[in-house]
Amino acid sequence: MINPPVSRRQLANGITVLTIANPSADIVSGRFFIPAGSRWEPAAKAGLAQLLTSLLTKGTKQLSALAIADRIESVGAGLGADTTTDYIKLSLKTVKSDLRDIFKLASEILRTPTFPPDQIELERKLILQAIRSQTEQPFNNAYRQLRTALYGQHPYSRSSLGSAKTMAQITRQDLVDYHQTHIRPDRLIISLAGRITPDEAIDLVTQVFGDWEIPAIDPPTLSPAHVATQPQYQIEHQSTQQAIVMLGYLAPAIHDPDCIALKLIDSYLSNGMSSRLFVELREKRGLAYDVSAFYPTRLDTSHFAVYMGTNPSNTAIAVSGLRAEVDRLCMEPLCDAELQTAKDKLLGQYALGKQTNGQLAQTYGWYELLGLGIDFDVQFNHAIQQITTTQLQTAANRYLSDPYISIVSPEYKPPASKTLTIT
């Protein structure tokens, strides 16, 4: 798919409007981004953004939860909200003829939610169930331990669901205050993709959101959250048929030049059945039920992780095997063919992530929130092509030399020389 043109404009009240004109189908998808995810929550109220977004469609000043659902379903549209680490988001999808009505509904949901007490308790129970479900899954437990070891008191250490304790402490007034603080026009990014022109998008947003005034109070800002922890073992003994071994490393945020090199390393290690981890640890050695890597994009300090699901008896071998494959990147440069394959995989995966209007709206809205600009799409492709094997090895040595280790296993004891936390 050829990249469609992208327009960026801003209303007088601060709303940023991105339009990705893609008239191939009579569908428009939208994303409404606000920087107000779990990164912005106080520790004692972890899960607040999650609870808030689950309630946005559960009642407004004019509509009940049932009435909202009926309006969406009657035209076969999609409209929902969710929370991530760095933002909250409202998503819509509709045919062009119904766009204005669904857009007005989205405005009402964002601007005038009522947080009905009965709905608060219902959504709280559902989130508590999800929290309990997470504790039963070895991968989630290993990842929770890893985040705690990596980030300490930084908000990135916490789940966006919060905990049973913090979720129980959130009041309706907390929701009202959080909404009034964070949901405001000068923090809103609206990204629209599909059969719509930039002029049509601006007219629509102006008609529906143009009367939304900027509050008199200053917008919220993030306090610097320093990350300073030491690599260590974290071990949880859980009765499970497979052990999860996870190695993590603090890694740069998206604006750091080394981010591109680490994205390529992630692709080389984990992208497909020909990737280094799959071939070396699963195909050749038969160690892994599942093996991969991930490097999430973050506003703040991110993390690079490799992991394996394996037979508990192989836990020690899994630790050494994962460590050896990462260390090998530090000691041996990739050959030109390996580097080009990693680039082709990454760029191919990136292109596949921009096939639908929803994906286009998501991609460019996320770029805007990160402060990367609409030109980052072209810059990213160019930067990938320019990376050398030397740059990859330099980045590996800079960030991937001393891992944090998180293990969930029925029984495992690490080397005595390592700092150890066992639960």
pLDDT of residue 422: 46
pLDDT of residue 288: 86
Tokens of 172: 């309706």
pLDDT tens, residue order, the chain (423 aa): 456 789 999 999 999 999 999 988 899 999 999 999 999 999 999 999 999 999 999 999 999 999 999 999 999 999 999 999 999 999 999 999 999 999 999 999 999 999 999 999 999 999 999 999 999 999 999 999 999 999 998 999 999 999 999 999 999 999 999 999 999 999 999 999 999 999 999 999 999 999 999 999 888 888 767 787 788 888 998 888 899 999 999 999 999 999 999 999 999 999 988 999 999 999 999 988 999 999 999 989 999 999 999 999 999 999 999 999 999 999 999 999 999 999 999 999 999 989 999 999 999 999 999 999 888 988 999 999 999 999 999 999 999 999 999 999 998 777 665 544 544
Q: Which amino acid is at 166?
A: T
Residue 31: strand, helix, or coil: strand
Distant-in-sequence, close-in-space partners of 67: CB < 8 Å, separation ≥ 6: none
pLDDT of residue 240: 86
Domain extent listing, the chain: 6-209, 233-422
pLDDT of residue 1: 47
Distant-in-sequence, close-in-space partners of 51: CB < 8 Å, separation ≥ 6: 120, 123, 124, 127, 167, 170, 175
Measured distance CA(109)–CA(69) in Å, rounded:
12
Please name the fold of domain 6-209: Cytochrome Bc1 Complex; Chain A, domain 1 (3.30.830)
- Residue 374 carries which DSSP code? T
| β partners of residue 191 | 18, 31
- DSSP assignment string, 154-185: SGGGS-TT--HHHHHH--HHHHHHHHHHH--G
- The pTM of this model reads 0.92
Range 57-60, long-range pairs (CB < 8 A, 24+ positions): 57/81, 57/109, 58/113, 58/115, 58/116, 58/119, 58/123, 59/113, 59/114, 59/115, 59/116, 59/119, 60/108, 60/109, 60/112, 60/113, 60/114
At the second CATH level, the architecture of 233-422 is 2-Layer Sandwich (3.30)
Q: Give the H or E element holding residue 406.
A: strand 404-409
Where residue 173 falls (left for φ over 0; alpha for ψ -120 to 50; beta otherwise) is alpha
- Residue 64 carries which DSSP code? B
Q: State pLDDT tens for residues 292-318.
A: 999 999 989 999 999 999 999 999 999
Measured distance CA(155)–CA(172) in Å, rounded:
22
Q: Degrees (nearest 5) of the Cα angle 102, 367, 222?
A: 95
Measured distance CA(27)–CA(33) in Å, rounded:
20
| β partners of residue 115 | none
Q: Which amino acid is at 124?
A: R
Q: State pLDDT tens for residues 318-366.
A: 999 999 999 999 999 999 999 999 999 999 999 998 999 999 999 999 9
Q: Which of 403, 404, 385, 387 is nearest to 395 (CA)?
A: 387
CATH topology agreement for domains 6-209 and 233-422: yes
Contact yes or no for 102/75 (Cβ under 8 A): yes
205: how many CB neighbours lie within 10 A of its CB? Answer: 22
Q: State pLDDT tens for residues 82-106.
A: 999 999 999 999 999 999 999 999 9
Alpha-carbon distance values, 417 to 232, 233, 405 (Å): 10, 10, 13
Residue 138: strand, helix, or coil: helix
